[in-house]
Structure 1
Amino acid sequence: MIINNLLLKLKDRDRENIDKARDVLLSMQGKIEYLHDLKVETNIRHGASSYDIILITQFASMEDFDAYLVHPVHMEVSTYIAGVLETGAAVCYEKK
């Protein structure tokens, strides 16, 4: 199982923008066959060094993860996120 964690800090960090970004990320649910699980959580403790959202995705293999990255639904979501993102960080690992 491949698990990818993506931390997102938005340019405009108000609740409305965070909720909109969360909804856009959640819109991938059930639309990408390679995506086994998707969770989106928002930070409840804000600070200068904190991130606003964590996206946790799970895939059966690295090949499925690679296919997800170029899937049209993911590409559309990525375009939106790139427009509102200040900075991000990712950790991808294999869970055995």
Structure 2
Amino acid sequence: MIINNLLLKLKSRDTENIKKTQEVLLGMKGKIEVLLDIQAELNVRPSQTAYDIILITKFASMEDMNAYLTHPAHLEVAKFIGNVLDTQVSVCYEI
């Protein structure tokens, strides 16, 4: 199983914008066959150096993750994220 963790820091870090972004991310649930699980959790301890959201996605294989990355539903979400994103970091691993 492939697990990808993506931490997002948004340009506008107000609660409304963070929650809207969480909703958009979770909107992929059930739309992409290869996406086994998705979580978008909000940081409960905000600070200057903290990230706002962690996106955790799970896939059966790296091939499935690559299919997810090019899926139209993901590309639509990525377009939205590109407009609100300040910076991101990720960790992808296999279990």
Taking structure 2 as the reference length, what is the TM-score of the superposition?
A: 0.99
Could you say which residue in structure 2 is the equivalent of 1:7?
A: 7
Could you say which residue in structure 1 is the equivalent of 2:85?
A: 85
Count of residue pairs brought into register by the alignment: 95
Mind listing any 5+ residue stretches in structure 2 that lack a counterpart? none
- Structure 1 residue ranges, 4+ long, deviating more than 6 angstroms after superposition: none
The separation in 1 between residues aligned to 2:48 and 2:21, in whole angstroms, is 19
**1:83 positional shift:** 0.4
Identical amino acids, percent of aligned pairs: 62
Could you say which residue in structure 1 is the equivalent of 2:94?
A: 94
Task: Report the RMSD for the aligned CA atoms in angstroms.
Answer: 0.3
The separation in 2 between residues aligned to 1:94 and 1:77, in whole angstroms, is 24
Taking structure 1 as the reference length, what is the TM-score of the superposition?
A: 0.98
Q: Residue deviations 1:9-44, cap 9 Å, x none? A: 000000000000000000000000010000110001
SS at match of 2:28: coil
Mind listing any 5+ residue stretches in structure 1 that lack a counterpart? none
